[in-house]
Structure 1
């Protein structure tokens, strides 16, 4: 059974609250609305945390929508907040959106139907972000279990970010140490990728040296990407020393057998 949508409705005007609730019930049959008309009720609602979304007016007898928004986001940063008002200004709208407001709707007779739509979009956006975050956590956990290093570097070869497995593979205690010791030449990776045809992706087996001077073989996969207008190298690093040792042992064995055959 679908749980009810719990909405905190903050508005001094009883008629406006009734119209908003009517539109919300049309779109959300399973609905619980808590109406807030003063500071005491608002403080209690914040403490109880029994709501999934908030609709607030800007002009309130005891506060204003910006202060309400900031308080809500300070306690529950992911909670959707919709401001539905006829007393705000463009400056207020911009400041509210910069403070985390999900939508700003002018309170006009034909705009009440936009409130439930705005809530639905905000909830779907949050759900999408949560799924993406969970997927990233699961993928990160899997890659760490497989001891696959992940890194991103700039065009000049500076490592921007890495996962713990990357640092462990290179024997580095921190990102700063990995950069200082230049344990992986990502500037060379950038040069190779820039001069290669699309898709700008390369896979190569390289022999690397850890911070303690021990060496290992790695499979290095790099891709050229653009993030916020900045070109970066994204890469994966996997320890394949065991496989390379097995390959070299097999090559040595084959060479030995061929030599025995040749000598008769």
Structure 2
């Protein structure tokens, strides 16, 4: 096609050079958009085809080959290029051959100049039709490319509760399990099989309300895929009218299942924050306020050096409470490669009462380093407090260590910092000496486990991960709740089972592993 807007470049092939020049003169006079290039040999014409030709005009009877044979050459290279056969050898046989071969037009040479007016009109019409097809084909190609890259599909359907599909194009099979042909061939498939039964009436009402307004609609609903899965869809469409008659609905549908899952995750985190806020603001702050009040009264009644450490402990507990609130609000993780062995060893050094740490893994996980340490630390403290086996009837030092830490401690005996409301051990929990537990960290399919050889957890204990759950009257019940939250914030699942040695075993799955070595622990 010519690169100059409006210009029509014609390649004229005729073995009569004088006649070819005459045709060129008349055509250019008839329409100033026409520019004719003439040649007397088919070989030269073939070479000229690449010079932005809009139309080929050729004689039938030429020395080196016929016009039909030349047409075949043109069609091989430019199958849609207009080709007009202009010949003095006219007959029904030639006309039939030309039409069968696929010429754009056929015109027999005459003797008067009016033939050039007719010829010019035929050429202009052929080129304009050719250019229009090119434009439409390019638009169609761009539209198909756009649809192919959209995360969904476009449709045209009737305004009927069954939503009969007239046209479907795009990624419908991946989203629904049904092909476009299946949706187009069944008048009720979308409305009665794909659209979720609980959302059908609402979807109909939303669209009809929009049609009564401006004809544009937007809605979300669920579908049931061919495989039986429930997926969330978002749709935007509009009414198509011919005059005043509604003839169809056209629109776009895409999946928003991931967004819905994200929304539910945010709602879950908000509920979790509320749970922690309730525990911190009531179950912890109230006893702390009572203790602090009595400490101040004691200061007024007596002068004792023991009251300063008590007041300091209360201050540390207040900081612990604020830390818990901050932790409840922080669900974000910054992941990096972390070696399980080094993280576990780091926490063993910060938790008093652990007997032996056995690490049976060299895996490197992608995790938030401080949150992973927090997870290990709370599990280790849980093992020390609730997992150690009693060996005598005498109280053991350090038995009141309470799990529920929000940070990494360097002191193993600070029971106040770990969430305990009293530095005095509870008789029911700590009476007697305890063998320090052996804690094992190892591999499971898709993750890792932390197990101890202690007393284990009663099968009837309920959901031990619930915030506030504790078998220790002085405990906060936050330790295992924090463990579960750290796991969930990483996208892991945590389950509690019996350990091989009779203790508790916590398994974490859905873990992303990293290549190479983790560092920094």
| TM-score (norm: length of structure 1) | 0.62
1:23-34 matches, cutoff 5 A? 23-26=26-29, 27-28=31-32, 31-34=35-38
What corresponds to 2:54 in structure 1? 52
What SS does the aligned partner of 1:18 have? Answer: helix
1:214 aligns with 2:216: no
1:149-188 matches, cutoff 5 A? 149-150=153-154, 163-171=169-177, 175=179, 186-188=186-188
User: Would you say how many aligned residue pairs link Structure 1 and Structure 2?
Assistant: 223
Report deviation, 1:11: 1.1
Report deviation, 1:102: 1.6
Contact 1:148 1:165 (C-alpha < 8 Å) held by counterparts: yes
What corresponds to 1:258 in structure 2? none
Q: Distance in 2 between matches of 1:58 and 1:136?
A: 36
Deviations 1:115-169 (A, max 9, x none): 222221122112211221232233334444543424699xxxxx99853422332
Which of 25, 39, 61 aligns to 1:35? It is 39
Report deviation, 1:33: 0.9
Question: RMSD value over aligned CA atoms?
Answer: 4.6
For structure 1, list consecutive stretches of 5 or more residues without a partner in the other structure.
154-158, 193-202, 224-232, 250-264
Instruction: Name the CA shift for 1:111/1:189 in 2 (closer, same or farther; >3 Å).
Output: farther
Q: Which has the larger radius of gyration?
A: 2
Deviations 1:155-190 (A, max 9, x none): xxxx99853422332246xx5xx76xx578723269
Instruction: Name the CA shift for 1:163/1:36 in 2 (closer, same or farther; >3 Å).
Output: farther
Contact 2:39 2:45 (C-alpha < 8 Å) held by counterparts: no
1:6 aligns with 2:9: yes
Q: Distance in 1 between matches of 2:230 and 2:65?
A: 65
Q: Distance in 2 between matches of 1:186 and 1:207?
A: 20
What SS does the aligned partner of 2:115 have? Answer: coil
Contact 2:85 2:107 (C-alpha < 8 Å) held by counterparts: yes
1:1-264 matches, cutoff 5 A? 2=4, 5-26=8-29, 27-28=31-32, 31-37=35-41, 39-46=42-49, 48-49=50-51, 51-108=53-110, 109=112, 110-150=114-154, 163-171=169-177, 175=179, 186-188=186-188, 207-218=222-233, 219=235, 238-239=253-254
Contact 1:82 1:119 (C-alpha < 8 Å) held by counterparts: yes
Which is bigger in relative contact order (C-alpha 8 A, separation at least 6)? 1
For structure 2, list consecutive stretches of 5 or more residues without a partner in the other structure.
158-164, 193-216, 240-247, 265-521
What SS does the aligned partner of 1:136 have? Answer: helix
Instruction: Name the CA shift for 1:217/1:76 in 2 (closer, same or farther; >3 Å).
Output: same
Contact 1:82 1:115 (C-alpha < 8 Å) held by counterparts: no
Deviations 1:21-75 (A, max 9, x none): 11222113662513133x43244335x5453321011122222121111111111
Q: Distance in 2 between matches of 1:42 and 1:2?
A: 21
What SS does the aligned partner of 1:28 have? Answer: coil
Contact 2:236 2:253 (C-alpha < 8 Å) held by counterparts: yes
Contact 1:184 1:208 (C-alpha < 8 Å) held by counterparts: no
What SS does the aligned partner of 1:169 have? Answer: helix
| TM-score (norm: length of structure 2) | 0.35
Q: Distance in 2 between matches of 1:50 and 1:8?
A: 10
What SS does the aligned partner of 2:84 have? Answer: strand
Q: Distance in 1 between matches of 2:128 and 2:83?
A: 13
Instruction: Name the CA shift for 1:75/1:215 in 2 (closer, same or farther; >3 Å).
Output: same
Q: Distance in 2 between matches of 1:63 and 1:11?
A: 11
Instruction: Name the CA shift for 1:132/1:40 in 2 (closer, same or farther; >3 Å).
Output: closer
